[in-house]
Structure 1
Amino acid sequence: MTTALPDLWTDWCSVMGVPAGRIDETAVSRFVQQVQPSQAVLTALRRRLAPKDPVAPAWPRAHREDIGSLQRLIRRGTAIVQHPGTHWVFRLRLRRMLFAAVLLAPPSQGGLGLDRSGALEMRPERMRRLRPRVGVAEDPASCPSCATWSWLDVIGTNSGWSHGSVRALGHRLDEEGTSHRHLQPDPNPDWHLALGMLPAVDRWGWIDSYRSMHPSSLSAVISAVALLLDGPEPVLAPGPAAVAMPAGPRRQISREEEEQILKRADELTARVEAILREFDTAR
Protein backbone atom coordinates (compact mmCIF):
# COMPACT_ATOMS: atom_id res chain seq x y z
CA MET A 1 0.00 0.00 0.00
CA THR A 2 1.31 3.47 -0.95
CA THR A 3 1.18 6.13 1.76
CA ALA A 4 -0.47 9.39 0.65
CA LEU A 5 1.79 12.39 0.24
CA PRO A 6 1.44 15.17 2.84
CA ASP A 7 -1.14 17.80 1.82
CA LEU A 8 1.33 20.58 2.56
CA TRP A 9 3.76 19.08 0.04
CA THR A 10 1.16 18.58 -2.70
CA ASP A 11 -0.15 22.14 -2.20
CA TRP A 12 3.38 23.55 -2.45
CA CYS A 13 4.07 21.48 -5.57
CA SER A 14 0.86 22.76 -7.16
CA VAL A 15 1.86 26.38 -6.54
CA MET A 16 5.49 25.91 -7.63
CA GLY A 17 4.71 23.76 -10.66
CA VAL A 18 6.73 20.83 -9.30
CA PRO A 19 5.50 17.25 -9.95
CA ALA A 20 4.36 16.01 -6.52
CA GLY A 21 5.50 12.45 -7.15
CA ARG A 22 9.04 13.40 -8.12
CA ILE A 23 10.66 13.79 -4.72
CA ASP A 24 14.36 14.60 -4.78
CA GLU A 25 16.84 16.39 -2.54
CA THR A 26 16.70 19.64 -4.52
CA ALA A 27 12.91 19.92 -4.36
CA VAL A 28 12.79 18.95 -0.68
CA SER A 29 15.45 21.53 0.19
CA ARG A 30 13.45 24.28 -1.56
CA PHE A 31 10.31 23.09 0.18
CA VAL A 32 11.99 23.24 3.60
CA GLN A 33 13.38 26.75 2.99
CA GLN A 34 10.09 28.19 1.78
CA VAL A 35 7.52 26.38 3.90
CA GLN A 36 9.40 25.25 7.02
CA PRO A 37 7.29 22.09 7.40
CA SER A 38 6.84 20.11 10.58
CA GLN A 39 9.19 17.26 11.39
CA ALA A 40 6.41 14.76 10.68
CA VAL A 41 5.91 16.09 7.13
CA LEU A 42 9.64 16.19 6.50
CA THR A 43 10.08 12.64 7.81
CA ALA A 44 7.34 11.41 5.45
CA LEU A 45 9.14 12.97 2.50
CA ARG A 46 12.56 11.72 3.59
CA ARG A 47 11.12 8.22 3.78
CA ARG A 48 10.26 8.48 0.09
CA LEU A 49 13.84 9.51 -0.64
CA ALA A 50 15.33 6.51 1.14
CA PRO A 51 16.01 3.46 -1.06
CA LYS A 52 13.48 0.68 -0.60
CA ASP A 53 16.19 -1.95 -0.45
CA PRO A 54 19.05 -0.95 1.87
CA VAL A 55 22.61 -1.57 0.77
CA ALA A 56 23.99 -4.77 2.34
CA PRO A 57 20.83 -5.53 4.36
CA ALA A 58 22.42 -8.46 6.24
CA TRP A 59 25.52 -6.53 7.36
CA PRO A 60 25.37 -5.41 11.02
CA ARG A 61 23.40 -2.16 10.94
CA ALA A 62 25.80 -0.26 13.20
CA HIS A 63 28.66 -0.86 10.75
CA ARG A 64 27.01 -0.22 7.35
CA GLU A 65 28.43 3.31 7.24
CA ASP A 66 31.70 2.25 8.89
CA ILE A 67 33.86 2.20 5.77
CA GLY A 68 36.66 0.19 7.39
CA SER A 69 34.59 -2.44 9.18
CA LEU A 70 35.10 -5.30 6.70
CA GLN A 71 38.87 -4.90 6.63
CA ARG A 72 38.96 -4.54 10.42
CA LEU A 73 36.91 -7.72 10.80
CA ILE A 74 39.20 -9.65 8.46
CA ARG A 75 42.28 -8.39 10.32
CA ARG A 76 40.83 -9.44 13.67
CA GLY A 77 39.64 -12.80 12.34
CA THR A 78 43.00 -13.42 10.70
CA ALA A 79 44.77 -12.75 14.02
CA ILE A 80 42.75 -15.57 15.59
CA VAL A 81 43.28 -17.85 12.58
CA GLN A 82 47.03 -17.25 12.80
CA HIS A 83 47.26 -17.94 16.52
CA PRO A 84 48.90 -21.36 16.98
CA GLY A 85 46.55 -22.15 19.87
CA THR A 86 43.40 -21.87 17.74
CA HIS A 87 41.69 -25.25 17.29
CA TRP A 88 41.70 -26.37 13.66
CA VAL A 89 37.89 -26.72 13.45
CA PHE A 90 37.45 -23.23 14.85
CA ARG A 91 39.99 -22.04 12.28
CA LEU A 92 37.84 -23.50 9.47
CA ARG A 93 34.74 -21.80 10.86
CA LEU A 94 36.59 -18.49 11.10
CA ARG A 95 37.62 -18.72 7.45
CA ARG A 96 33.99 -19.42 6.54
CA MET A 97 32.87 -16.46 8.67
CA LEU A 98 35.28 -14.11 6.87
CA PHE A 99 34.06 -15.37 3.49
CA ALA A 100 30.44 -14.86 4.57
CA ALA A 101 31.39 -11.34 5.63
CA VAL A 102 32.76 -10.65 2.15
CA LEU A 103 29.46 -11.80 0.65
CA LEU A 104 27.39 -9.61 2.98
CA ALA A 105 29.47 -6.43 3.47
CA PRO A 106 28.65 -3.25 1.51
CA PRO A 107 30.41 -2.87 -1.86
CA SER A 108 31.90 0.39 -0.56
CA GLN A 109 33.86 -1.73 1.92
CA GLY A 110 34.97 -4.36 -0.58
CA GLY A 111 32.08 -6.79 -0.11
CA LEU A 112 29.31 -7.94 -2.42
CA GLY A 113 26.35 -6.55 -0.45
CA LEU A 114 24.21 -9.68 -0.72
CA ASP A 115 21.19 -10.39 1.44
CA ARG A 116 20.93 -13.61 3.46
CA SER A 117 19.24 -15.66 0.77
CA GLY A 118 21.70 -14.44 -1.86
CA ALA A 119 24.61 -15.61 0.30
CA LEU A 120 23.04 -18.98 1.14
CA GLU A 121 22.10 -19.62 -2.48
CA MET A 122 25.53 -18.70 -3.82
CA ARG A 123 26.82 -21.27 -6.31
CA PRO A 124 30.23 -21.56 -8.00
CA GLU A 125 29.03 -20.15 -11.34
CA ARG A 126 27.81 -16.96 -9.71
CA MET A 127 30.88 -16.75 -7.47
CA ARG A 128 33.08 -16.83 -10.56
CA ARG A 129 31.15 -13.88 -12.01
CA LEU A 130 31.14 -11.83 -8.80
CA ARG A 131 34.66 -12.59 -7.59
CA PRO A 132 36.30 -9.75 -9.57
CA ARG A 133 34.12 -7.29 -7.60
CA VAL A 134 35.57 -8.35 -4.24
CA GLY A 135 37.77 -5.64 -2.77
CA VAL A 136 41.52 -5.66 -2.21
CA ALA A 137 43.28 -4.17 0.82
CA GLU A 138 46.88 -3.06 1.04
CA ASP A 139 47.51 -5.41 3.97
CA PRO A 140 47.05 -9.10 3.05
CA ALA A 141 45.83 -9.82 6.59
CA SER A 142 42.90 -7.41 5.99
CA CYS A 143 42.25 -8.23 2.33
CA PRO A 144 38.73 -9.39 1.30
CA SER A 145 40.09 -11.09 -1.82
CA CYS A 146 42.65 -13.02 0.23
CA ALA A 147 39.96 -14.10 2.72
CA THR A 148 37.89 -15.32 -0.24
CA TRP A 149 40.87 -17.21 -1.68
CA SER A 150 41.48 -18.96 1.65
CA TRP A 151 37.89 -20.19 2.01
CA LEU A 152 37.72 -21.34 -1.62
CA ASP A 153 40.85 -23.37 -0.83
CA VAL A 154 38.90 -25.08 1.97
CA ILE A 155 35.85 -25.70 -0.24
CA GLY A 156 38.01 -27.08 -3.04
CA THR A 157 39.92 -29.35 -0.68
CA ASN A 158 36.66 -30.66 0.75
CA SER A 159 35.26 -31.35 -2.74
CA GLY A 160 38.25 -33.10 -4.23
CA TRP A 161 40.23 -34.60 -1.37
CA SER A 162 39.84 -36.54 1.87
CA HIS A 163 38.74 -35.35 5.29
CA GLY A 164 42.37 -35.78 6.36
CA SER A 165 43.34 -33.18 3.77
CA VAL A 166 40.73 -30.78 5.14
CA ARG A 167 42.05 -31.38 8.65
CA ALA A 168 45.61 -30.69 7.51
CA LEU A 169 44.43 -27.47 5.90
CA GLY A 170 42.66 -26.52 9.13
CA HIS A 171 45.94 -26.91 11.03
CA ARG A 172 47.87 -24.83 8.51
CA LEU A 173 48.57 -21.13 9.10
CA ASP A 174 48.91 -18.55 6.36
CA GLU A 175 52.43 -17.76 5.32
CA GLU A 176 53.70 -14.52 6.83
CA GLY A 177 54.83 -11.84 4.42
CA THR A 178 53.68 -9.02 2.20
CA SER A 179 52.37 -11.03 -0.76
CA HIS A 180 48.67 -11.42 -1.36
CA ARG A 181 47.31 -14.95 -1.51
CA HIS A 182 44.63 -14.02 -4.01
CA LEU A 183 47.31 -13.19 -6.61
CA GLN A 184 48.27 -16.87 -6.68
CA PRO A 185 46.31 -19.46 -8.68
CA ASP A 186 43.58 -21.22 -6.73
CA PRO A 187 45.31 -24.20 -5.06
CA ASN A 188 42.11 -26.29 -5.20
CA PRO A 189 39.95 -25.35 -8.20
CA ASP A 190 37.56 -28.17 -7.24
CA TRP A 191 35.58 -25.45 -5.42
CA HIS A 192 33.90 -25.06 -8.81
CA LEU A 193 32.20 -28.41 -8.09
CA ALA A 194 30.78 -27.40 -4.71
CA LEU A 195 27.01 -27.36 -4.27
CA GLY A 196 27.00 -24.79 -1.48
CA MET A 197 29.49 -22.05 -0.70
CA LEU A 198 28.51 -21.65 2.98
CA PRO A 199 28.17 -25.20 4.31
CA ALA A 200 27.91 -26.36 7.89
CA VAL A 201 31.12 -27.43 9.66
CA ASP A 202 30.41 -29.92 12.43
CA ARG A 203 32.40 -30.33 15.64
CA TRP A 204 34.71 -32.93 14.05
CA GLY A 205 35.49 -30.69 11.10
CA TRP A 206 33.31 -32.48 8.55
CA ILE A 207 32.06 -30.02 5.94
CA ASP A 208 28.64 -30.64 4.39
CA SER A 209 29.24 -31.12 0.66
CA TYR A 210 25.60 -31.08 -0.42
CA ARG A 211 23.86 -28.03 1.02
CA SER A 212 24.42 -24.64 2.55
CA MET A 213 24.09 -23.97 6.25
CA HIS A 214 20.67 -23.32 7.76
CA PRO A 215 19.50 -19.66 7.76
CA SER A 216 19.65 -19.66 11.57
CA SER A 217 23.31 -20.66 11.31
CA LEU A 218 24.01 -17.70 9.04
CA SER A 219 22.30 -15.48 11.60
CA ALA A 220 24.71 -16.86 14.19
CA VAL A 221 27.64 -16.08 11.89
CA ILE A 222 26.38 -12.50 11.50
CA SER A 223 26.12 -12.24 15.30
CA ALA A 224 29.73 -13.41 15.56
CA VAL A 225 30.74 -10.77 13.00
CA ALA A 226 29.10 -8.02 15.07
CA LEU A 227 30.66 -9.34 18.27
CA LEU A 228 34.14 -9.39 16.78
CA LEU A 229 33.72 -5.89 15.35
CA ASP A 230 32.47 -4.44 18.63
CA GLY A 231 34.94 -6.22 20.89
CA PRO A 232 38.61 -5.61 21.70
CA GLU A 233 41.46 -6.51 19.40
CA PRO A 234 42.29 -10.23 19.62
CA VAL A 235 45.64 -11.21 21.07
CA LEU A 236 48.21 -11.62 18.31
CA ALA A 237 50.45 -14.63 18.29
CA PRO A 238 54.04 -13.72 19.19
CA GLY A 239 56.41 -13.96 16.26
CA PRO A 240 59.88 -12.91 15.09
CA ALA A 241 58.46 -9.90 13.22
CA ALA A 242 56.89 -8.53 16.39
CA VAL A 243 60.13 -9.00 18.33
CA ALA A 244 62.18 -7.29 15.62
CA MET A 245 60.03 -4.14 15.53
CA PRO A 246 61.66 -1.15 17.20
CA ALA A 247 59.91 -0.09 20.36
CA GLY A 248 58.28 3.32 20.02
CA PRO A 249 57.27 5.63 22.85
CA ARG A 250 54.16 4.31 24.55
CA ARG A 251 52.40 4.41 27.86
CA GLN A 252 53.60 1.73 30.22
CA ILE A 253 50.91 -0.87 30.89
CA SER A 254 50.88 -2.40 34.32
CA ARG A 255 50.77 -6.15 34.77
CA GLU A 256 47.20 -5.87 36.05
CA GLU A 257 46.12 -3.90 32.96
CA GLU A 258 47.84 -6.38 30.66
CA GLU A 259 46.08 -9.27 32.36
CA GLN A 260 42.72 -7.52 31.94
CA ILE A 261 43.38 -6.87 28.22
CA LEU A 262 44.37 -10.49 27.63
CA LYS A 263 41.37 -11.71 29.62
CA ARG A 264 38.92 -9.60 27.58
CA ALA A 265 40.46 -10.72 24.29
CA ASP A 266 40.33 -14.38 25.34
CA GLU A 267 36.71 -14.00 26.44
CA LEU A 268 35.82 -12.47 23.08
CA THR A 269 37.48 -15.30 21.18
CA ALA A 270 35.67 -17.87 23.32
CA ARG A 271 32.30 -16.20 22.72
CA VAL A 272 32.86 -16.07 18.94
CA GLU A 273 33.85 -19.73 18.96
CA ALA A 274 30.76 -20.68 20.97
CA ILE A 275 28.45 -18.82 18.58
CA LEU A 276 29.97 -20.41 15.48
CA ARG A 277 29.88 -23.87 17.08
CA GLU A 278 26.36 -23.74 18.48
CA PHE A 279 24.40 -23.62 15.25
CA ASP A 280 26.45 -25.88 13.01
CA THR A 281 24.75 -29.15 12.21
CA ALA A 282 26.14 -32.17 14.11
CA ARG A 283 27.21 -35.03 11.86
Structure 2
Amino acid sequence: MTTALPDLWTDWCSVTGVPAGRIDEATVSRFVQQVQPSRAVLMTLRRRLAPKDPPAPAWPRGHREDAGSLQRLIRRGTAIIQHPGTHWVFRLRLRRILFAAVLLAPRSHGGLGLDRSGALGLRSDSMRELRQWIGIAEDPSACPACATWSWLDVIGTNSGWSHSSVRVLGHRRDEVGSAHRHLRPDPNPDWHLSIGLLPAMDRWGWIDAYRSMHPSSLSAVISAAALLLDGPEPAPAPVPAAAAMPASPRRQMSHEEEEQILKRADELTARVEAILREFDTGR
Protein backbone atom coordinates (compact mmCIF):
# COMPACT_ATOMS: atom_id res chain seq x y z
CA MET A 1 0.00 0.00 0.00
CA THR A 2 1.29 3.46 -0.89
CA THR A 3 1.26 6.03 1.90
CA ALA A 4 -0.48 9.27 0.94
CA LEU A 5 1.57 12.43 1.06
CA PRO A 6 0.86 14.63 4.11
CA ASP A 7 -1.42 17.61 3.48
CA LEU A 8 1.15 19.90 5.12
CA TRP A 9 3.71 18.82 2.52
CA THR A 10 1.41 19.22 -0.48
CA ASP A 11 0.25 22.64 0.76
CA TRP A 12 3.86 23.77 1.15
CA CYS A 13 4.70 22.46 -2.32
CA SER A 14 1.82 24.36 -3.89
CA VAL A 15 2.97 27.60 -2.25
CA THR A 16 6.67 27.22 -3.07
CA GLY A 17 6.21 25.75 -6.54
CA VAL A 18 8.04 22.52 -5.71
CA PRO A 19 6.58 19.40 -7.39
CA ALA A 20 4.99 17.28 -4.67
CA GLY A 21 6.72 14.21 -6.06
CA ARG A 22 10.18 15.70 -5.65
CA ILE A 23 11.03 14.21 -2.27
CA ASP A 24 14.79 14.40 -1.85
CA GLU A 25 17.07 15.31 1.04
CA ALA A 26 17.62 18.91 -0.03
CA THR A 27 13.92 19.63 -0.52
CA VAL A 28 12.89 17.89 2.70
CA SER A 29 15.55 19.85 4.63
CA ARG A 30 14.19 23.10 3.21
CA PHE A 31 10.66 22.01 4.16
CA VAL A 32 11.76 21.23 7.73
CA GLN A 33 13.48 24.60 8.13
CA GLN A 34 10.47 26.55 6.90
CA VAL A 35 7.57 24.56 8.34
CA GLN A 36 8.98 22.57 11.29
CA PRO A 37 6.63 19.62 10.72
CA SER A 38 5.73 16.98 13.25
CA ARG A 39 7.83 13.87 13.56
CA ALA A 40 5.05 11.79 12.00
CA VAL A 41 4.98 13.99 8.88
CA LEU A 42 8.75 13.91 8.60
CA MET A 43 8.89 10.12 8.92
CA THR A 44 6.25 9.77 6.20
CA LEU A 45 8.33 11.89 3.85
CA ARG A 46 11.55 10.05 4.61
CA ARG A 47 9.87 6.76 3.74
CA ARG A 48 9.09 8.28 0.36
CA LEU A 49 12.53 9.70 -0.34
CA ALA A 50 13.45 9.53 -4.00
CA PRO A 51 15.80 6.69 -4.92
CA LYS A 52 19.52 7.30 -4.96
CA ASP A 53 20.74 9.41 -7.84
CA PRO A 54 21.79 7.41 -10.90
CA PRO A 55 25.55 7.33 -11.50
CA ALA A 56 25.50 9.56 -14.63
CA PRO A 57 28.27 7.55 -16.34
CA ALA A 58 28.40 9.80 -19.43
CA TRP A 59 29.06 13.04 -17.54
CA PRO A 60 32.71 14.19 -17.85
CA ARG A 61 34.62 12.29 -15.20
CA GLY A 62 36.48 15.30 -13.86
CA HIS A 63 33.22 17.11 -13.07
CA ARG A 64 31.09 14.36 -11.52
CA GLU A 65 31.76 15.68 -8.02
CA ASP A 66 31.39 19.32 -9.06
CA ALA A 67 27.74 20.12 -8.34
CA GLY A 68 28.00 23.47 -10.11
CA SER A 69 29.41 22.11 -13.36
CA LEU A 70 26.09 21.80 -15.21
CA GLN A 71 25.07 25.37 -14.43
CA ARG A 72 28.54 26.60 -15.38
CA LEU A 73 28.34 24.75 -18.69
CA ILE A 74 24.91 26.20 -19.46
CA ARG A 75 26.07 29.70 -18.56
CA ARG A 76 29.10 29.41 -20.85
CA GLY A 77 27.06 27.91 -23.67
CA THR A 78 24.46 30.64 -23.28
CA ALA A 79 27.18 33.29 -23.58
CA ILE A 80 28.07 31.92 -27.03
CA ILE A 81 24.40 31.59 -27.99
CA GLN A 82 23.83 35.22 -27.06
CA HIS A 83 26.80 36.51 -29.05
CA PRO A 84 25.59 38.19 -32.27
CA GLY A 85 28.52 36.72 -34.18
CA THR A 86 27.44 33.12 -33.56
CA HIS A 87 26.23 31.38 -36.73
CA TRP A 88 22.61 30.27 -36.50
CA VAL A 89 23.41 26.58 -37.13
CA PHE A 90 26.07 26.62 -34.42
CA ARG A 91 23.52 28.28 -32.12
CA LEU A 92 21.14 25.36 -32.70
CA ARG A 93 23.93 22.86 -32.03
CA LEU A 94 24.78 24.64 -28.80
CA ARG A 95 21.17 24.41 -27.66
CA ARG A 96 21.30 20.68 -28.38
CA ILE A 97 24.57 20.38 -26.42
CA LEU A 98 23.02 22.07 -23.39
CA PHE A 99 19.93 19.87 -23.55
CA ALA A 100 22.09 16.74 -23.85
CA ALA A 101 24.08 17.96 -20.85
CA VAL A 102 20.87 18.21 -18.82
CA LEU A 103 20.03 14.62 -19.74
CA LEU A 104 23.49 13.32 -18.83
CA ALA A 105 24.43 15.36 -15.75
CA PRO A 106 23.92 13.84 -12.29
CA ARG A 107 20.69 14.69 -10.52
CA SER A 108 22.71 16.33 -7.77
CA HIS A 109 23.87 18.79 -10.46
CA GLY A 110 20.35 19.46 -11.75
CA GLY A 111 20.37 16.88 -14.56
CA LEU A 112 18.65 13.54 -15.09
CA GLY A 113 21.68 11.25 -14.81
CA LEU A 114 20.92 9.22 -17.95
CA ASP A 115 23.50 7.07 -19.68
CA ARG A 116 24.21 7.40 -23.40
CA SER A 117 21.64 4.86 -24.54
CA GLY A 118 19.05 6.36 -22.21
CA ALA A 119 19.62 9.83 -23.65
CA LEU A 120 19.52 8.66 -27.26
CA GLY A 121 16.45 6.52 -26.63
CA LEU A 122 14.51 9.09 -24.62
CA ARG A 123 10.98 9.61 -25.94
CA SER A 124 8.54 12.43 -25.39
CA ASP A 125 6.26 10.50 -23.03
CA SER A 126 9.22 9.73 -20.75
CA MET A 127 10.38 13.33 -20.98
CA ARG A 128 7.02 14.55 -19.74
CA GLU A 129 7.46 12.41 -16.63
CA LEU A 130 11.12 13.27 -16.05
CA ARG A 131 10.89 16.99 -16.70
CA GLN A 132 9.81 17.78 -13.13
CA TRP A 133 13.18 16.49 -11.87
CA ILE A 134 15.27 18.89 -13.94
CA GLY A 135 17.04 21.47 -11.81
CA ILE A 136 16.27 25.18 -11.63
CA ALA A 137 18.95 27.84 -11.20
CA GLU A 138 18.50 31.36 -9.91
CA ASP A 139 20.19 32.75 -13.02
CA PRO A 140 18.10 32.05 -16.17
CA SER A 141 21.27 31.96 -18.27
CA ALA A 142 22.49 28.98 -16.21
CA CYS A 143 19.14 27.27 -15.65
CA PRO A 144 18.81 23.60 -16.74
CA ALA A 145 15.02 23.91 -17.00
CA CYS A 146 15.34 26.96 -19.27
CA ALA A 147 17.91 25.20 -21.48
CA THR A 148 15.46 22.30 -21.80
CA TRP A 149 12.61 24.67 -22.70
CA SER A 150 14.69 26.26 -25.46
CA TRP A 151 15.63 22.96 -27.12
CA LEU A 152 12.08 21.63 -26.94
CA ASP A 153 11.07 24.85 -28.70
CA VAL A 154 13.50 23.99 -31.51
CA ILE A 155 12.34 20.41 -32.07
CA GLY A 156 8.71 21.45 -31.66
CA THR A 157 9.20 24.04 -34.40
CA ASN A 158 10.91 21.41 -36.54
CA SER A 159 7.99 19.00 -36.09
CA GLY A 160 5.18 21.47 -36.66
CA TRP A 161 6.63 24.01 -39.06
CA SER A 162 9.19 24.33 -41.85
CA HIS A 163 12.97 24.42 -42.00
CA SER A 164 12.77 28.16 -42.60
CA SER A 165 10.99 28.50 -39.25
CA VAL A 166 13.79 26.55 -37.58
CA ARG A 167 16.27 28.88 -39.26
CA VAL A 168 14.45 31.92 -37.88
CA LEU A 169 14.61 30.33 -34.44
CA GLY A 170 18.32 29.68 -34.91
CA HIS A 171 18.90 33.38 -35.53
CA ARG A 172 16.99 34.30 -32.38
CA ARG A 173 18.83 34.98 -29.15
CA ASP A 174 17.30 34.70 -25.69
CA GLU A 175 15.63 37.74 -24.23
CA VAL A 176 17.87 39.57 -21.81
CA GLY A 177 16.35 39.83 -18.35
CA SER A 178 15.57 37.98 -15.16
CA ALA A 179 12.53 36.03 -16.38
CA HIS A 180 12.84 32.25 -16.57
CA ARG A 181 11.74 30.81 -19.90
CA HIS A 182 10.69 27.51 -18.37
CA LEU A 183 7.91 29.26 -16.44
CA ARG A 184 6.14 30.01 -19.72
CA PRO A 185 4.00 27.46 -21.56
CA ASP A 186 5.87 25.52 -24.23
CA PRO A 187 5.67 27.68 -27.37
CA ASN A 188 5.70 24.62 -29.61
CA PRO A 189 4.03 21.64 -27.92
CA ASP A 190 4.58 19.67 -31.14
CA TRP A 191 7.81 18.46 -29.53
CA HIS A 192 5.55 15.72 -28.14
CA LEU A 193 5.41 14.37 -31.70
CA SER A 194 9.17 13.97 -31.96
CA ILE A 195 10.33 10.38 -32.12
CA GLY A 196 13.61 11.18 -30.38
CA LEU A 197 14.69 14.25 -28.44
CA LEU A 198 18.31 14.23 -29.63
CA PRO A 199 17.77 14.16 -33.40
CA ALA A 200 20.48 14.15 -36.03
CA MET A 201 21.36 17.53 -37.53
CA ASP A 202 23.43 18.19 -40.64
CA ARG A 203 25.82 21.04 -41.38
CA TRP A 204 23.07 23.15 -42.96
CA GLY A 205 20.85 23.01 -39.89
CA TRP A 206 18.38 20.41 -41.19
CA ILE A 207 17.01 18.43 -38.24
CA ASP A 208 15.98 14.84 -38.94
CA ALA A 209 12.73 14.28 -37.06
CA TYR A 210 12.90 10.51 -37.67
CA ARG A 211 16.47 9.69 -36.69
CA SER A 212 18.44 10.23 -33.49
CA MET A 213 22.01 11.39 -33.61
CA HIS A 214 24.63 8.67 -34.00
CA PRO A 215 26.36 7.49 -30.79
CA SER A 216 29.63 8.90 -32.15
CA SER A 217 27.94 12.28 -32.52
CA LEU A 218 26.83 12.10 -28.90
CA SER A 219 30.45 11.39 -27.98
CA ALA A 220 31.40 14.56 -29.86
CA VAL A 221 28.74 16.49 -27.96
CA ILE A 222 30.13 15.21 -24.65
CA SER A 223 33.66 16.17 -25.73
CA ALA A 224 32.46 19.64 -26.67
CA ALA A 225 30.74 19.99 -23.29
CA ALA A 226 33.95 18.98 -21.49
CA LEU A 227 35.89 21.50 -23.57
CA LEU A 228 33.48 24.26 -22.61
CA LEU A 229 33.84 23.33 -18.95
CA ASP A 230 37.62 23.15 -18.98
CA GLY A 231 38.35 26.06 -21.31
CA PRO A 232 38.36 29.81 -20.69
CA GLU A 233 35.23 31.87 -20.35
CA PRO A 234 33.66 32.58 -23.76
CA ALA A 235 33.75 36.13 -25.06
CA PRO A 236 30.72 38.01 -23.72
CA ALA A 237 28.20 39.49 -26.10
CA PRO A 238 28.72 43.22 -26.68
CA VAL A 239 26.33 45.43 -24.77
CA PRO A 240 25.23 48.99 -25.51
CA ALA A 241 27.36 51.61 -23.85
CA ALA A 242 25.82 52.83 -20.60
CA ALA A 243 25.95 56.34 -19.25
CA ALA A 244 29.16 57.05 -17.40
CA MET A 245 28.89 56.74 -13.63
CA PRO A 246 31.42 57.63 -10.94
CA ALA A 247 33.37 54.59 -9.89
CA SER A 248 36.15 53.81 -7.50
CA PRO A 249 39.62 53.58 -9.06
CA ARG A 250 40.42 50.16 -10.43
CA ARG A 251 43.06 48.54 -12.55
CA GLN A 252 42.54 49.17 -16.24
CA MET A 253 43.04 46.24 -18.59
CA SER A 254 45.47 47.00 -21.36
CA HIS A 255 44.46 46.61 -24.98
CA GLU A 256 46.94 43.74 -25.36
CA GLU A 257 45.48 41.88 -22.36
CA GLU A 258 41.95 42.31 -23.66
CA GLU A 259 42.96 41.07 -27.10
CA GLN A 260 44.61 38.00 -25.56
CA ILE A 261 41.50 37.12 -23.52
CA LEU A 262 39.21 37.51 -26.52
CA LYS A 263 41.59 35.46 -28.66
CA ARG A 264 41.48 32.56 -26.17
CA ALA A 265 37.70 32.75 -26.03
CA ASP A 266 37.45 32.72 -29.83
CA GLU A 267 39.81 29.74 -29.98
CA LEU A 268 37.59 27.85 -27.53
CA THR A 269 34.49 28.54 -29.61
CA ALA A 270 36.29 27.46 -32.78
CA ARG A 271 37.45 24.20 -31.18
CA VAL A 272 33.93 23.36 -30.00
CA GLU A 273 32.55 24.10 -33.46
CA ALA A 274 35.27 21.98 -35.09
CA ILE A 275 34.45 18.99 -32.88
CA LEU A 276 30.80 19.16 -33.87
CA ARG A 277 31.55 19.77 -37.56
CA GLU A 278 33.63 16.59 -37.67
CA PHE A 279 30.50 14.55 -37.07
CA ASP A 280 28.17 16.41 -39.42
CA THR A 281 26.00 14.19 -41.57
CA GLY A 282 25.57 15.02 -45.23
CA ARG A 283 22.19 15.30 -46.87
Aligned match of 1:31: none
Aligned match of 2:45: none
CA contact (8 A) 2:54 2:113 kept: no
C-alpha displacement at 1:249, in angstroms? 5.5
C-alpha displacement at 1:274, in angstroms? 1.0
Q: Write the deviation string for residues 139-180 of structure 1: whole angstroms up to 9, x where unpaired.
A: 000000000000000000000100000000000111111000
CA contact (8 A) 1:213 1:280 kept: no
C-alpha displacement at 1:245, in angstroms? 9.2
Aligned equivalents of 1:235 and 1:61: distance in 2?
Answer: 26
Aligned match of 1:102: 102
Q: TM-score, normalised by structure 2?
A: 0.78
C-alpha displacement at 1:200, in angstroms? 1.5
Q: How many residues align?
A: 230
Q: Write the deviation string for residues 34-60 of structure 1: whole angstroms up to 9, x where unpaired.
A: xxxxxxxxxxxxxxxxxxx97110000
C-alpha displacement at 1:239, in angstroms? 1.5
For the aligned residues, what is the CA RMSD?
1.6
Q: Write the deviation string for residues 64-115 of structure 1: whole angstroms up to 9, x where unpaired.
A: 0011100000000000001011000000000000000000001011000000
Letter in 1 for 2:236: L
C-alpha displacement at 1:251, in angstroms? 3.1
Aligned match of 1:62: 62
Asked whether 1:158 is paired with 2:152, we answer no
Aligned match of 2:204: 204
Q: Which moved more, 1:253-262 or 1:243-252?
A: 243-252
Deviating beyond 4 angstroms after TM superposition, the runs of 4 or more aligned structure 1 residues are: 244-250
Q: Which runs of 5+ in 2 are unaligned?
A: 1-52
Q: TM-score, normalised by structure 1?
A: 0.78
Aligned equivalents of 1:248 and 1:203: distance in 2?
Answer: 48
Asked whether 1:191 is paired with 2:191, we answer yes
Aligned equivalents of 1:245 and 1:94: distance in 2?
Answer: 35
C-alpha displacement at 1:276, in angstroms? 1.4
1:135 is paired with a residue of what secondary structure? Answer: coil
C-alpha displacement at 1:238, in angstroms? 1.3
Aligned match of 2:280: 280
Aligned match of 1:149: 149
Letter in 1 for 2:125: E
Aligned equivalents of 1:185 and 1:245: distance in 2?
Answer: 39
Aligned equivalents of 1:60 and 1:165: distance in 2?
Answer: 34
Q: Write the deviation string for residues 234-279 of structure 1: whole angstroms up to 9, x where unpaired.
A: 0111124x74696565432221111111100000000101111211
Aligned match of 1:180: 180
Letter in 1 for 2:130: L
1:158 is paired with a residue of what secondary structure? Answer: helix
CA contact (8 A) 1:58 1:104 kept: yes
Aligned equivalents of 2:244 and 2:277: distance in 1?
Answer: 36
Letter in 1 for 2:255: R
Aligned equivalents of 1:269 and 1:248: distance in 2?
Answer: 34
* Cα distance change on mapping 1:245 and 1:66 into 2, 3 Å: farther
